[in-house]
Copies of this chain bind each other. A is one copy, B any other.
């Protein structure tokens, strides 16, 4: 899949944090873009639905929706249509985040709707086994995020490294191409470095960046860890 690249990927999830809403979402995005440009690291951002258009008009980072609904165009008031997300300029979408879980059947349908408009998909799961299960529906990326560590400040890659390595093994046993991300509790460069060493090919970060007093400094720390890892990996 052309859309999925070789380098490590850093996806910043804005959730519904006030620090990343509206005007502040745009300011945060510009800071993140600055660091991404300076370090050359591949970074994506996932703002709220109503902020997507404002950000894609002003920032050149790849933008992900936080969710799309498993519906085709039609009489669906209050739903998030993949087509609409796409037209607002997003290039991808998260699906089945632990704060917006879907029924198994709907995960498959949401992935299909996203694919039809060529959105890159990041499907989330909370355990290694479910990460493998969700991979069978062929998202572009799969993210393992143990719910109990989300927002905890304790990084999955250092607190529970076996979850990451077990996920990588289970996912690879059913699919050799999907890009594997991990997340939950990641807030500094060492957390990121540890994740990549365990076989993850990218990380999801939320409060670690969004709620930091100086998000650009945290971003710099995360991105330098990715560069350090990439150089050692050669």
Contact = CB atoms under 8 A, between A and B. Distances in A.
A144 to B, nearest CB: 12
A87 B15 CA distance: 16
Interface string A112-133: 0000000000000111011011
Contact of A133 (B66, B126, B127, B136): B136
Interface stretch (A76-84, A155-163, A225-233): A76-84
B129 A15 contact: no
B104 A78 contact: no
Given A22-B87, A94-B78, A105 B101 contact: yes
A100 B78 contact: yes
Residue from the set A71, A78, A80, A99 with the largest chain B CB neighbour count within 10 Å:
A78
Nearest to A13: B77
A223 to B, nearest CB: 23
Contacts of A108: 127, 129-130
Interface of A: 13, 15-18, 21-23, 46, 48-54, 65-67, 71, 73-81, 83-88, 90, 94, 96-108, 125-127, 129-130, 132-134, 136-137, 150-151, 170, 174, 206-207
In the A-B complex, the 10 residue pairs with the smallest Cβ-Cβ separation, listed nearest first, are: A22-B87, A67-B78, A78-B100, A49-B49, A133-B133, A18-B73, A50-B88, A16-B76, A77-B99, A77-B97
Given A53-B54, A88-B50, A132-B136, A100 B79 contact: yes
